[in-house]
Every structure is written in structure tokens, then in C-alpha cells.
Structure 1
Amino acid sequence: MGGSILVGLDGTGNSEPAVRWGAEEAAVRNLPLHLLHSWVSQPWSVSLVPEDADRRRYGSDVLRRAEAMAREVHPGIPVKVEHVAEEAADALADRSRESTLLVLGSRGHDDIAGFLMGSVSLRVLGRAECPVVTVREEESSVGPGPEIVVGVQETGTEGDAVLDYAFTTAAVHRAVLHAVRARTPVTALDVEAARPPDAAVPTAEREALSTRLAPWRGRFPNVRVIEEVVNGRAVPALLSASSRAGLLVIGRRTHRTPMPLGPVVLAVLHHSRCPVAVVPRG
């Protein structure tokens, strides 16, 4: 996919790490950066301003500052700015069809209600047609760093989009890819044998993960891969594996109803200490 790196801006402090992250992705992937702000979906303090002209002026300032920041991080990247009168979630979901990646800022860990109930972020995450990276406002890095964690739950081709994004990102950033598969013990004997959680994983489970990753290892021979099967549930396994990582990659079902984001995705988004990439899959 050769689309742009799209960054959604709301004008608050959590937009700045998203801009830096987006600029880095545009640079390493040799793609243009697309900055988008909706003047009709601004923060409460601005939305209460009655004059449309003032809200448009605020949005123009947001885009101008973001463009300057992006060019400071990577002076050579092409930057497009877009100031829209559409609802932010609608505009971002629409532009995601032609984007390689969408980057969103999110509030810090202490603002539980603000993050979990943030309608724009959650609506975009549930509708976007490209991978979406959420970057916390306290994030200081501008890329995934030396290690990326990817959750591998499917043994068939359903998760191909997740692995494609994870391997491609590891390759362009020269990062190690840590592939994690969580296995919930199914019998009482299994449960007893699984203590501690990293013990007694059946050989067949490890072989299944290796088999699933083999084609991708072949396509990306320069990516170093760590394979891990963990006894237990997916969320603790992924959070533990990503505690020292710079990016956690997970998939979401594209036809899930009535809630487009499942409990695993929501839990990881809230509790992860690193940026999270949510990739649409079948």
C-alpha cells in the first residue's frame, strides 16, 4: 500500500506525540504525511466558542503548528494539511481507505473516562480501513524502537493483515519482532501443568506458531523474530510481553457487532504502556 500517513489532530497536547510519530513513519516508509483537523469536532473549550470564524482560526493554527513540528522532525517529507467541516470520526474513517497508516493521540493513563469514552478515537478505531496507531500524550519516542510485539492468535490466513503490518514495520525500523500466542489451558490437568505460566506449553502449540510465521520469515529474512507461546489469557500475555517494547500490534474483527472493538482490544488500548497498532482483519 502506498497511501499517506494520516494523523488526526484535535489541537490538544495529545496531538503532538501523534504528529512526531506520524512524521517518523512517513520518513522511514518514504510516504507523504497527511495532517487532518475538523473544526466542527474540537475540544470542549473551543467547541463552546459561538463564532465559526474563531473555531476555523483555531483549527488553522493547530494545523500550522503541526506542520511546523513535522518539518522540524523530518524536514524533507511532503506534508499535506486538511481542514474539514466534517465530523472528525467520519473524515478520518473516510480518508483511511486510501492511507497506509492512521495515527491518533490519546490521553494519559490517569484519565480513564476520557480515554475509554472518547467517542472520536473509539469510533475511528472501529471503522478505519487501515492500521491505526494510538500514541499516548506522555510518549516521548518517535517510533517503535528496538522491539515490536505482535499478537498471533489465528492459525489460518485470517490474521495475514496483522502479520503483514507487523513484519513490514519491523523491517523498515530494523526492529526485533516478538510474536506472542496466548494459550488458555483447557483441562484441569492442563491448568496444573501450566504453573508457572511459561512452563508445559505443548510442542504442537509451539510448532503451530512457527508454521504460521514461516511464510513471513521467508518474505522478511532480515527481521529477527522471537516466538513465544504463553499459557494464559491474551491480555496479560500481550501486556507482559510489551512491557519493554516500543509498539504492540493487535488485530480487530472488521464485522464485529454491536461493539466494533472487542474486550481484548479495549483492554490493551487502555492498559498498554507503549503505543498500540490496531489492524483490521477478516
Structure 2
Amino acid sequence: MLGTREFVPVALSARRCVMDGAVVVGLDGTGSSVPAVRWGAAEAAARELPLHLLHSWVSQPPNVPVAQEAAHKKRYGSEVLGKAEAMALELHPGISVTTEQVSAQAVDALVDHSRNASLMILGSRGHGAISGFLLGSVSLNVLGHAECPVVTVREDVTAAYERPELVVGVLERGTRDEVVLGFAFAAADAHHARVRAVRAWEPPATMGFATTAPASSGPEPAAGEEKSLADALMPWRAKFPGVDVVEQVERGRVAPVLLRACSQAGLLVVGRRMHRSPMLLGPIVLAILHHAGCPVAVVPRS
């Protein structure tokens, strides 16, 4: 079961060269690596951070056409990293790029690197008729264990922030969403994007008693949610005065509201609780990851 996988720290290659605060891109050598490299290079350039490309030769997918011997796998991994580095430098010549191939399992290596990274980028296999946003066990486990924000990018994404709007879900009252809002506003500022801050709300249960009031009556709850959202955004508006902000409060369940809101967005930002058990990712985050029409950033929060 994916949600119960235990992460065990491992000793990585002595050649580890990732810089603190880098944008780390996990590469598996499939087509999903290409948009991840594009996105990572764009993030590194916009945020003036180094880019670190990471490949686990022992975790190459079974459909990679290479022999099973270690030497062949390592050679293939070197080719994957070389092509990715060349692509990143062609797209953004001024960035600093480092590469690393490890013998640790991909999940363990990526989670270990997330402790020092500013951001991590993973590719997905895009939308399918049945599976939706296809995320393998590596991506799901990294998303559940990573200590930095992780962006998942589909194969059909050709450039970072293809649309100039970023949607962020503001789900909690109080300070729990501060790290999520901080990531969203910093990303919007770096990429000159608009922030659409979305809060979904549902009226309290009626305890089984029928009510004759129309569903749209009673503006007080919605007004309270609007004030809660405005209060949460106030310090971030002050910190990032150049970022255009749209506030949206919508009645309904969280996942459908956010999925509708991001239909024309370049990125959807959501938070996840750390140390969940037994599921590493809650049902809202899982629904968004599988059905969002744009890249998704999952930000760990308390």
C-alpha cells in the first residue's frame, strides 16, 4: 500500500553535489522528464537558484530499452542527465546546473535531497481515459514524504506557467496556510503571474432536520468566509505589492471548487499535512493530483 511505505534514510553517493536551496528535478529517463526539466530550468532562472538534476540508475522504469547490467544502466543514466543538462542550458543559458546519478532508490534519494532543496519538480505521464493524472509510486511517495514543495508536471506541458494565473487553495483558518500562501506569492512574483486565492465553504449540517430556507439564503456565512480569506491574504499583499490578487469564495466541496478554479491556470498550489497516517496524502490532495488540468504544487505544512 503506497500510503504506508516507510522511508528509510540511506547513504547516498559520495559525489553528492546538490547545493542548499537548489531546484531539484527528478529524472527517470521517460518522456515525462522533458517537461520537468523545462519547468525546473524556468524556476531556477526566475528565482535565481541553481538547478540540480538527479537520476537513480537502480530505479529506471521497466520500459527503458537498456540491458539489465549495472554498467548499461549507469551509461543510460549518464545520457539522460547529459541531455537534460543541455536542454536546461539551452533554454536558460545563465543558470547554474549540476547533475548527479545515485545508486539509492529514487524515493529515498529524492526525499533526502528535499531536506535542502527550495523546490522539487517531478514529471507525470499526463492524462489517460481511465487513470487521469497518472502518478507512479515514486511520485506519490515523494509527495507524501518531501520536506520542500513538490511540483508535478504532465507530459503535455510545453512551458512553465503557460497561463499567467496561479491558483492557491486557502483551506484553513489561522496560520496553517501561511507556508502555502508564502510559496504561492513568491512563485507569482518570480513569474509575473496573478494569484487567485480560492476558499471553498459548505454550510453547517442541519442535523437531519428539514429546512425551508433556500440554499442561497443567509449571506452571513459567506461574508465570514470572505473576511477570513481577506485577513489571510493581507500580510502577503503587503509583502508582495506588485502581485495582482483575485479573491474567490465559492460554496461547495473543496476539491471540485479548486479543480474548477484552476481550469485556466498555469499552476495550482495546495498544502498537505505532514506526518499523516496511515495515508500520506489526504483525499483532497489526491483528487486534485489526479484530475487537475494544470501542474500542481504540493506544499508541506504543519
Please tell me the TM-score bracket, short chain as reference.
over 0.9
Of 111, 118, 137, which aligns to 2:136?
Answer: 118
Note closer, same or farther for the CA distance 1:37–1:156 as it changes in structure 2 (3 Å cut). Answer: same
Shift in Å, 1:53: 0.4
* Residues 141-160 of structure 1: pairs in structure 2 closer than 5 A: 141-143=159-161, 145-160=163-178
Instruction: Verify: 1:170 aligned to 2:170, yes or no.
Output: no
Equivalent residue for 1:244, pick from 264, 269, 280: 264
Distance (whole Å) between structure 1 residues aligned to residue 226 and residue 87 of structure 2: 45
Percent identity over the alignment is 58
Q: Equivalents in 2 of 1:265, 1:191: separation in Å?
A: 33
1:79 aligns with 2:97: yes
Give, in angstroms, the shift of residue 2 of structure 1: 6.3
> What is residue 264 of structure 1 aligned with on the other side?
284
Q: How big is the alpha-carbon RMSD for the aligned residues of Structure 1 and Structure 2?
A: 2.1
Question: Which residue type is aligned with residue 97 of structure 2?
Answer: V
Match of 1:255 among 258, 268, 275: 275
Gapped regions of structure 1 (runs ≥ 5)? none
The alignment covers a number of residue pairs equal to: 279
Higher-helix-fraction structure: 1
Return the alpha-carbon distance in structure 1 between the equivalents of residues 130 and 142 of structure 2. 18
Distance 2:286 2:227 in 1: 29
1:129 counterpart = 2:147: yes
2:22 maps to a residue whose letter is S
Q: Give the aligned partner of residue 4 of structure 1.
A: 22
Q: Unpaired runs of 5+ in structure 2?
A: 1-18
Check conservation: 1:24, 1:143, Cα contact below 8 A.
no
CA apart distance, 1:192: 3.6
Question: What displacement does 1:114 show?
Answer: 9.1
Q: CA deviation at 1:49?
A: 2.9
Structure 2 partner of 1:90 = 108
Structure 1, 48-57 or 200-209: larger mean CA deviation: 200-209
Instruction: Tell me the distance in 2 between the aligned counterparts of 1:72 and 1:33.
Output: 13
Out of 103, 125, 139, the position equivalent to 1:107 is 125
How far apart, in 2, do the equivalents of 1:19 and 1:242 lie?
23
